[in-house]
Copies of this chain bind each other. A is one copy, B any other.
Amino acid sequence: MLNVKEKGDKAVFKYCKAFDGVKMKRLAVSQKEIDKAIESVPSELQTAILQAKKNIELFHNSQKEEVRKIETMPGVTCWRQSKGIEKIGLYIPGGTAPLFSTVLMLGIPAQIAGCKEIILCTPPDKKGKINPAILFAAELCGISKIYKVGGVQAIATMTFGTETIQKVFKIFGPGNQYVTMAKQMAQQYSVAIDMPAGPSEVLVIADESANAEFVASDLLSQAEHGIDSQAILITTDEKLGKQVVDAILNQIELLPRKAIAEKALKNSKLIVVKNISEAIELSDLYAPEHLIIACKNANEVAQQISTAGSVFIGNHSPESAGDYASGTNHTLPTNGYASMYSGVSLDSFVKKITYQELTKEGLGNIGQTVMTMAAAEGLDAHKNAIAIRLKK
């Protein structure tokens, strides 16, 4: 981190060579590169990304807060208003999967929030290129400043700024353990982050009405994420539990990421409980990032849940729908953090400023209250700010 602070771009180039194995001449992606990349994205994928964008936009637009002016006493009016965080940075990891879906999940609400400067950092491949679908998604979200830099050095550039890349106020996005640690360090230099990150997880609550094949496919789509992923099944029906295990053993054979999924399943659990209440209680204690409810009256069960990142209701709502395109955000609290954090939403990209306006009458109405309280807290200048006005 500190090397980038001191040496700027020079340090970044050095780390690009060391960690990404590519000698870079410039970090910024040119408009020409973007245009060329867009042409190479298959039209079927372009259509899918556009559809996902539309849904994510609709849902995040609905999170806008109207300004409500509240007269708490006659002549004392309070309200709050959201303003976009001026400068933000998005980090999109490279590695095995090109996460253009995460570009949408972060870029769309940033655009709706009215963030003025949105920059994106993502590591180049060995040829110094970025996956075209990432550039296509970024362009759709109005992100014009894209830099080919990954890992700790990317977080450091957005924290301190360099000759090429400017410092931001808040950094968003997933990453490996080094990126996560770098984001934690960034907080010590007055940069905010979206949320603490950990391994991903799904919990499925299923009763005898669930479809074992569906449940197995949901557990596996979590397991393929990484070897530290966790997939939990809580069921009231032991028979269903066994069917799900059988279905997993069948389905896993066909997966390209079988080796990863197998390792992840070693961390995973199948728990048989007496009734749905017990399942809800256990789930709340676990605080799952993703919760799938595959049982009768799924909507009622969902209402009783008090802790989860995102909830998928019924047999036709797989996690992958929310991961890509239903409209909800896929950047969610993992590792038990759903007990105290919300997922990324429009809120994450704004500051909510409060305002108050008092009329002369309003100050008269509230004056005695403030003066009495200020005096009791021993803060006479606070009292005086009222008294001096009331005297006029």
Minimum Cβ distance to chain B for residue A233 (Å): 14
Minimum Cβ distance to chain B for residue A136 (Å): 11
Known: A306-B86, A325-B369. A351 touches B342 (CB 8 A): yes
List 23 A–B pairs whose Cβ atoms lie within 8 Å, in order of A's numbering.
A65-B65, A85-B339, A86-B307, A97-B377, A99-B377, A100-B376, A101-B373, A220-B385, A221-B385, A251-B381, A257-B380, A310-B355, A312-B355, A314-B358, A316-B362, A320-B386, A321-B363, A323-B374, A324-B369, A324-B373, A324-B382, A342-B353, A345-B352
B376 touches A133 (CB 8 A): yes
Which bracket fits the contact residues of A? 35 or more
Known: A85-B340, A366-B326. A310 touches B224 (CB 8 A): no
B221 touches A101 (CB 8 A): no
Contact with B along A251-283 (1 / 0, CB 8 A): 100111100010000000000000000000000
Which chain B positions have C-beta within 8 A of A315? 389
CA–CA, A55 to B70, complex, Å?
10
8 A Cβ contacts from A175-232 to B: 187, 190-192, 196, 211, 213-214, 217-218, 220-221, 223-225
Asked if A169 is an interface residue, CB under 8 A from chain B, the answer is: yes
> A351 touches which one: B49, B63, B326, B340 (CB < 8 A)?
B340
Known: A76-B327, A347-B347. A97 touches B352 (CB 8 A): no
Which chain B positions have C-beta within 8 A of A18? none
A316 touches B363 (CB 8 A): yes
A48 touches B377 (CB 8 A): no
Which chain B positions have C-beta within 8 A of A377? 97-101
Which chain B positions have C-beta within 8 A of A85? 339-340
Residue of B nearest to A383 (CB): B320
CA–CA, A358 to B316, complex, Å?
6
Contact with B along A156-167 (1 / 0, CB 8 A): 000000000000
Known: A217-B388, A317-B358, A347-B347. A55 touches B76 (CB 8 A): yes
CA–CA, A384 to B251, complex, Å?
9
8 A Cβ contacts from A310-359 to B: 310-329, 333, 335-343, 345, 347, 350-359
A356 touches B327 (CB 8 A): yes
A44 touches B357 (CB 8 A): no
Which chain B positions have C-beta within 8 A of A339? 85-86, 169, 351
Minimum Cβ distance to chain B for residue A301 (Å): 11
> A308 touches which one: B96, B225, B353 (CB < 8 A)?
B353
Contact with B along A46-74 (1 / 0, CB 8 A): 01110110110011001101001010110
* Supplied contacts A76-B326, A321-B386, 6 more A-B pairs, CB within 8 Å: A76-B321, A86-B339, A225-B379, A311-B355, A323-B370, A326-B366
Residue of B nearest to A218 (CB): B385
A321 touches B370 (CB 8 A): yes
